[in-house]
Amino acid sequence: MQQLRHGVQLKKVAAAGESRGIVAEYELTPYEILMDDIRSRRYKLNKVMVDGDIPHRVKKDAHAIILDFIRSRPPLRKASERRLPPPPKRARSPRELLMESIKGGTPLRHTSSPHKSGEYHPII
């Protein structure tokens, strides 16, 4: 009972590798690698434009490149001048053929009913 009240003291056990002289090696996590690079200043910062403006020379060059590309293409014809070929006839599926035969079939004939409309006569 006394051991339960005061607790049991365990003897120290050396790690399995330490008793044989083997030291465990650990690989660094990506976070630790990044922190190591920051501490040792192994990084290069890219220059940022002032107020986010692109220099005028770069804007002008990009604009000229786009215009040259547009000018190098053949001119487009007006939509009214363009004529498209008729759409190709596609083969109808068996389902479509069946539905057409049902819809376009002979109409049903009206027959005289032995009962007056509106009256209900159960079949016995």
- pTM for the structure as a whole: 0.22
CA 28 to chain centre: 33
Q: Which two tokens stand for residue 44?
A: 């290069």
CA 28, CA 35: separation in Å to the nearest integer? 10
Integer distance in angstroms from the first to the last C-alpha of the chain?
92
Q: pLDDT tens digits for 13-71?
A: 766 555 566 666 678 888 988 888 888 887 777 766 666 666 666 667 788 888 888 88
pLDDT tens per residue, range 63-116: 888 888 888 988 888 888 888 899 888 899 999 999 988 888 777 777 776 655
